[in-house]
Amino acid sequence: MLKELWELFLTFAKVGVMTFGGGMAMLPILQREVVENKGWATDEELTDYFAIGQCTPGIIAVNTATFIGQKRKGVWGGIVATLGMVFPSLVIITLLAGLITSFSHLEWVQNAFAGIRVCVCVLILNATVKLWQGAVKDVWGALIFAAVLAGSLLTDLSPVLFVLAAAVAGIIIRCVGGARK
Residues 102 and 165 in one domain: no
More confident site: 76 or 137 = 76
Query: Lowest-pLDDT range, 37-46, 65-74, 93-102, 145-154?
Result: 93-102
Give the mean model confidence (pLDDT) for residues 134-160. Answer: 92
Residues 123 and 152 in one domain: no
Residues 43 and 101 in one domain: yes
Instruction: Give the residue from 135, 152, 170 where a domain finishes.
Output: 135
Residues 179 and 156 in one domain: yes
Residues 19 and 99 in one domain: yes
More confident site: 27 or 181 = 27
* Statement: residue 168 has pLDDT above 90: yes
Question: Which pLDDT tens digit goes with each residue over 119-135?
Answer: 888 888 887 888 888 78
Residues 53 and 118 in one domain: yes
Residues 148 and 123 in one domain: no
Contact in structure between 132 and 46 (CB atoms under 8 Å) = no
Residues 114 and 143 in one domain: no
Whole-structure pTM value? 0.60
Amino acid at 177: G
Tally of domains in the chain: 2
Residues 90 and 19 in one domain: yes
Residues 116 and 169 in one domain: no
* Statement: residue 179 has pLDDT above 70: no
User: pLDDT at position 22, please?
Assistant: 64
Buried b / exposed e along 120-141 (16+ C-beta atoms within 10 A): beebbeebeebbeeebeeeebb
Residues 68 and 130 in one domain: yes
C-alpha closest to that of 113 among 129, 102, 100, 126: 100
User: pLDDT at position 18, please?
Assistant: 78
Confidence bin at 43 (pLDDT 50/70/90): confident
Instruction: Give the residue from 135, 150, 170 where a domain finishes.
Output: 135
Query: Which residue range(s) make up the domain with 162?
Result: 136-181
Query: Lowest-pLDDT range, 19-23, 48-52, 167-171?
Result: 19-23
User: pLDDT at position 143, please?
Assistant: 94
Residues 75 and 85 in one domain: yes
More confident site: 127 or 158 = 158
User: pLDDT at position 20, please?
Assistant: 64
